[in-house]
Amino acid sequence: MSSAPARSRREYGAATLAMAAGAALLLAAAGRLWVTGELDVPGPVAPSPIHLTGADLTGTPTGVGWAGLAAIAGLYAARGWVRRVIGLLTAAGGALVLTSVWSATRSGALADAVAAHAAAAGGTAQVATEPELGALGPAMAAAGAVALLLSGLLATVRSPAWPGMGTRYDRDAAPRQHQAETPSDLWRSLDAGDDPTLDAPGRTDGRAQGADGSAPEGGTATAPLARRPAEPKENS
């Protein structure tokens, strides 16, 4: 049976890989061809073809894709409830992409997008045939959205237990009882963010001594300074 830290590392790795794959799919899908159609141009000329990419139909996959990549770095750097917020926002982004892809690929929305593109190009061209929707681009966007949705939900529930950047360099509030005794112990303490010289044997604070030079209980006393006798003044 695997230990809890090992299981947390596997969950963290799976979630970050799913986020990276989902974000990459969204960015790739936004640049692919989604819609093809034809425009009627005035005059005795053949209809003009028109091609629209996913970014021409909706900008949501591109924005959520970049946000998904940023979420990976955020999960690594953040801790606690901040990770839950990042996971929740990632899941919400995946759901938003699914909604936008469904809305942008409806037949009426496709015709409106082609007409708007023709009007932006200038002239009096009109849509000649019903636009044709490709399957690969929307499928890639939907797959990427689902990956972000599931990985975001997993991060929302489980991310506080995952390893991160900050845990290694945090120092405990209470000093450790075991002090570095060998060079290897010293390097391990430094690597963990501890000061191995704190509370070291023989180390005292002069301000903790009493007025008579005595040391507090468990400390080392400092010898008081000897007073020199006053020298008599010579009469001139």
Each residue's pLDDT tens digit, 69-127: 999 998 888 888 898 999 999 999 999 999 999 999 998 888 888 878 777 666 666 76
Supply 88's token pair.
């929740």
The span from the CA of 35 to the CA of 186, in Å, is 65
Q: Can you give the residue ranges of every domain in the chain?
A: 4-161
**Among candidate residues 157, 143, 153, 152, the one with its CA nearest the CA of residue 97:** 143
C-alpha pair distances (Å), 23 with each of 52, 67, 68, 75, 162: 21, 8, 5, 15, 21
State which H helix or E strand residue 72 sits in.
Answer: helix 60-77
Please give the residue that has the higher pLDDT: either 84 or 216.
84
Residue 160 pLDDT > 70:
yes
204, with CB counted inside 10 A (0-12, 13-18, 19+), is middle
Contacts of residue 177, Cβ cutoff 8 Å, sequence gap at least 6: none
pTM: 0.65
C-alpha pair distances (Å), 172 with each of 164, 167, 189, 195: 16, 10, 12, 11
Topology of the domain comprising 4-161: Butyryl-CoA Dehydrogenase, subunit A; domain 3 (1.20.140)
Query: Taking all residues of the chain, what is their mean pLDDT, rounded to a whole number?
Result: 77
Query: Predicted confidence band at 208 (pLDDT cuts at 50, 70, 90)?
Result: very low
